[in-house]
Structure 1
Amino acid sequence: MVTMINQLTLTGDEKALFAVLDEICAHMKRQPGFDSLRLHRSLRTPERLVMVARWEDAAAHAAASSGPRVRELFERLRAEARTDPDVYETLLEG
């Protein structure tokens, strides 16, 4: 299992951001190897969000993130927020 963490900072329209995040979530749920996705908002800095998605493995995440539909969705996402995604392996779990 790997975790994709995408730190987002709202720079545009919040309603448009959430609309595209809904589309991204719906798309990813249909992809092989997808496990779960959660979106968190900072209580201290409300324009800061963190998307956390769990995938079966890095290859499943890479395959799901490489198609033209995903590129279009993430272009729309970047129009509303700065993004900083990365994929992590779990080293310790409590």
Structure 2
Amino acid sequence: MSTAPRIVADRARCVGAGQCVLTAPELFDQSEDDGTVVVLAEEVGADDLDRVREAVHICPSGALALETGEETGPLSTTGRAGRPGA
């Protein structure tokens, strides 16, 4: 039994750049109070997976992660911290 990948957001780390909202507006929003990320749907469907990976990758503060049954962590295999040479 596999579980759907999940979006993990560290709001304390978020700088409110909004790149995630531009990349996947149906999955991300920004708080009206401080502009930090709001995850609208934690579980990621297959149709949205590539866009979520892109949002994780381009997040300037590294506040987003994609958690799967195989990998977990901020920017695990798709973002800055997970890329060799990043």
Decide which structure has the larger Cα Rg and report it. 1
TM-score, normalization by structure 2: 0.38
Bigger relative CO (Cα 8 Å, ≥ 6 apart): 1
